Structure 1
Amino acid sequence: MGRARMTWIGTSWKMNKTLAEARAFVDGLVAARSALDGVRAFVIPAHTAIAAVRERLPADVPVLIGAQNAHWEPAGAYTGEVSMGMIADVGATLVEIGHSERRQHFGETDETVALKVAAAVAAGLTPLLCVGEPAGVRAAGGETDWVAGQVSRGLSRLATPDLHKVVVAYEPVWAIGDLGREAQPYEIAPVMEMLSARFRPAAVLYGGSVNRRNAAALLGVPGTDGLFVGRAAWDVAEFIELVRIAACACHEGRADAR
């Protein structure tokens, strides 16, 4: 039997979109606002565009705005960084933490991820904790233990009552980026089910080469509450199409739960 749920669908723009492009995306969301009903949609602009997106987005359009990173300290001599309070001040309500690109290119560790998760919760933000195994771990059959360890360490500085405030995004490293391959539902199902059952976060999302062709099948994987989409959602028309697919999945889940 299925379960009623609010299906999440969101995208991070990474290092893309000028202010004009960000505003045009928002205008597309506003034009299609009826498609957003019943879906927990979110967009994560670059820091330079968060305020512009917040200002352009009417309060009655149900889209959450996130930030791609923030420091764990509330203030200080950290040149080039921004604090959790700063991103909240310009309109973010969630913050992406621990993406594999941050871990690979900027030296993020499980310890700094844990510090950021705790700081986000303390600032009233929703942490979007990104985890996922590299290809070698997958080939050796160690993906479930690897991901469970990442999540455990990422949540290690939270009090038990705060664990449900975190959204976890499972993004296997071998499935993301220009060279990533699409995951089959059976490949991700054990990890998604483990995350949902063991950690019971606010939501468990899947990300990695998601597009309109495979979105419905991925949303059907047990334990999956939504999708975290990359370049396939950077065009607003494609994002709206993914929202429609998520809405259908949400309605089907409610029907199955009855």
Structure 2
Amino acid sequence: MDDTAPTSDTLRNLRHRRGDYGVDGDFAVVSARGQAVIVAAILFVLVAVAVGAAVAGSYAGAVVAAVLAVAWALFVGSYLYTTLIGKFRVWAGVLAGLGLRGDERVLDLGCGRGALLLMVAALLPRGRAVGIDVWRADQTGNGPEATRRNAELEGVADRVELETGDITRLPFADASFDVVVSNLVLHNISDAGARRAALDKAVRVLRPGGRVLIGDLMHTGEYRDRLRELGLTDARRRGLGPRMW
């Protein structure tokens, strides 16, 4: 990765988003609304227990319940900050530091509603940003129509392509991309062999001298080791800070 410091204008432009990128999470079993109700109910119960214990004179119980209520609220607040604001700020710095020429082809594995894909597209006035996804319920309102709408709102629709497909079986030719990126996607693949397959395909479509950037919550050491096995000997792993959990 080019460590050249990005300009303040570049960072500002990347962080300013016009689209609607939803909320990250697994909503396949319980809807986002249902999960919001559960979260609110847990907080309500903890507060009610704290108040009830205080009224009953059980101050130790009240303190414990109050601490749990505050911890729960902070946890939920941190999650919402990460998915709505934090990830954009983190990736703005990462992408701006790449030093892209602007004519590259970039692939986003599991692009969702385009949070990362369209940030990349903003840096490619003469290039193409290609996103691929199976459009599962990993975000609220996930689907290609939402991504296309966001691309229009961000003013980059003319340089964005969307594909429906599995990242473990990429439908692209060998050595067809300069950069491959992915954000909080690979950990959703439960099978380790399938995760390796996704990495294998990412490297297959990468041009000589290309770069791979993967942000994830777990398995990152596994990714680094596999990339090194595939010949990317400079593969490195680093934390992205609390804004990315």
Q: Shared fold (TM-score greater than 0.5)?
A: no
- Which is higher, the Rg of structure 1 or of structure 2? 2
- Could you state the TM-score of these two structures normalised by the residue count of structure 1? 0.31
Which one has more relative contact order, counting CA pairs under 8 Å at least 6 apart? 1
